[in-house]
Amino acid sequence: MISSISYADAGVSIDNANRAVAKIREYARSTFNERTLTEIGSFGGMFSAAFPGMAEPILVASADGVGTKLKLAFETGIHNTVGADLVNHCVNDILVQGARPLFFLDYFATGRLEPDVTASVVEGMARACRENGCVLLGGETAEMPDFYPLGEYDLAGFIVGVVDKAKVIDGKTIEPGDVVLGIPSNGLQTNGYSLARKLFFEVGGYKADTFIEELGTTAGEALLATHQSFLPQLGPLLDGGRIKGLAHITGGGFLENIPRILPEGVGVEIERGTWPELPIFGLMQRLGNVADHEMFRTFNMGIGMVVLCSESNSLQMLDTLGGAFVIGKVVRGKGEVKIN
């Protein structure tokens, strides 16, 4: 007769899961507000759906992941930034339609659960949720032995926000003569990391802890720069009706993301050199002799969010945004972006 076999013998530790949840609970609670109706650990998170002051509230939802930027977290052992990357990315994705975030849920999956690592990831998520004024309402922590390599995990997130229907930003009024503004990014955000890692570590021969004079930091620190939220800058402008369109410059760069918000019959011309490109982009382009077209289709090139407005409103918008640049204009076209 064989001895009794437990779930732990199969590689899944319920005790570790309980320890992780205990750590997570306190981080999540730090984001709760008066609209949060359930505790962490409930089967479903409950959130009050009352929206006083809104004539016709519209819920806006989005889901995303961190991608291969996680490889940098595994290599450096720094796990408290990728959670913030995820939250801020999702906040920006619903922000382009004028929505402010309400609550966020995450999915964390790993081969062997390490409670301290899991808690560190959630710490970053909770911090970003607090900064963006949204609740970390719940999520899922999955331990799946033999599915992920030891020491690695995957991370995805789901966000829900709200905007009054009359204030939805949909790009429909964008027309030739409008101005394109760019809000600077502080790094690669969460896109292009498969190419970036190839350029830095395979082509360039750098290690994560290699100090690069041109960047003023190590390769790992430069690549782990947290994807910032643009809600603090754009929030004061959301209700004024002056924003015609917003494009979050994520996967696909300028060339794929700006066309997503353009109405029929217009295009955009971007003037390269009208904003200071971060040194990391020039370094990568030289390392791999990467074509301009590929750079602008893969990376944000130092612009994290694009704002389209009328020329008459552009100066006031620049003043409110602080640190943004006029980077182009709207022209007649077929929904394409041209880089000059």
Q: List pLDDT tens digits, range 70-110.
A: 999 999 999 999 999 999 999 999 999 999 999 999 999 99
Supply the pLDDT for residue 157: 96
Q: Which residues contact 312 (CB under 8 A, 6 or more apart)?
A: none
68 within 8 A of 81, measured Cβ to Cβ: no
Supply the pLDDT for residue 37: 82
325 within 8 A of 184, measured Cβ to Cβ: yes
Cα angle: 278, vertex 295, 154; to 5 degrees: 85
Q: Measured between alpha carbons, how far is 69 from 152 in angstroms, rounded to an integer?
A: 12
Question: Which of 8-12, 144-148, 237-241 shows the lowest mean pLDDT across its residues?
Answer: 8-12
Give per-residue burial for 137-152: e unless 16+ CB within 10 Å, then b: bbbebebeeeebeeee
Q: Read off the pLDDT of residues 240-288 as tens digits, 9 standing for 90 and up.
A: 899 999 999 998 999 999 999 999 999 999 999 999 999 999 999 999 9
The residue among 306 and 24 whose pLDDT is bigger is: 306
| pLDDT at residue 307 is higher than 60 | yes
CATH of domain 8-167: 3.30.1330.10
| pLDDT at residue 336 is higher than 50 | yes
HEC letters along 221-263? HHHCCCCCCCHHHHHHHCCCCCCCEEEECCCCHHHHHHHHHCC
**pLDDT class for 15, splitting at 50, 70, 90?**
low
59's tokens: 């819920």
User: Within a 13 Å sphere around the CA of 133, how many CA atoms are in the beta-carbon half?
Assistant: 9
**Can you tell me the mean pLDDT for 278-300?**
95
Q: Measured between alpha carbons, how far is 143 from 148 in angstroms, rounded to an integer?
A: 9
Burial degree of 23 (CB within 10 A; 0-12, 13-18, 19+): middle
Beta strands in 51-120 (DSSP E): 57-65, 100-110
Question: Which of 5-9, 129-133, 138-142, 242-246 shows the lowest mean pLDDT across its residues?
Answer: 5-9
| pLDDT at residue 6 is higher than 60 | no
**Can you tell me the mean pLDDT for 220-228?**
96
pTM for the whole structure: 0.93
Question: Which of 1-5, 151-155, 192-196, 274-278 shows the lowest mean pLDDT across its residues?
Answer: 1-5
**Can you tell me the mean pLDDT for 176-191?**
95
Supply the pLDDT for residue 183: 97
Supply the pLDDT for residue 8: 60
Q: What is the DSSP letter of 202?
A: I
Instruction: Please name the residue that has the structure tokens 């972006």.
Output: 337
Q: Measured between alpha carbons, how far is 215 from 286 in angstroms, rounded to an integer?
A: 14
Domain boundaries, the chain: 8-167, 179-339
Question: Which of 15-24, 238-247, 297-306 shows the lowest mean pLDDT across its residues?
Answer: 15-24
| pLDDT at residue 115 is higher than 90 | no
Q: Measured between alpha carbons, how far is 251 from 235 in angstroms, rounded to an integer?
A: 23
Is residue 311 classed as helix, strand or coil in its secondary structure?
A: helix
104's tokens: 């966020």
Q: 179-339 architecture in CATH?
A: Alpha-Beta Complex (3.90)
**pLDDT class for 9, splitting at 50, 70, 90?**
very low
Question: Helices 82-95 and 115-132 sit at what angle, rounded to 10 degrees?
Answer: 30
| pLDDT at residue 232 is higher than 90 | yes
Q: Read off the pLDDT of residues 36-79 as tens digits, 9 standing for 90 and up.
A: 888 887 788 888 888 988 899 999 999 999 999 999 999 999 99
| pLDDT at residue 5 is higher than 60 | no
Task: Tell me the Cα Rg of the chain.
Answer: 22
Supply the pLDDT for residue 38: 84
**Can you tell me the mean pLDDT for 127-134?**
97
| pLDDT at residue 1 is higher than 80 | no
Average of per-residue pLDDT values in the chain = 91
Give per-residue burial for 246-283: e unless 16+ CB within 10 Å, then b: bbbbbbbbbbbbbbebbeeebbbbbeeeebebbebbeb
Q: Measured between alpha carbons, how far is 79 from 118 in angstroms, rounded to an integer?
A: 8
Query: Amino acid identity of 338?
Result: K
| pLDDT at residue 34 is higher than 90 | no
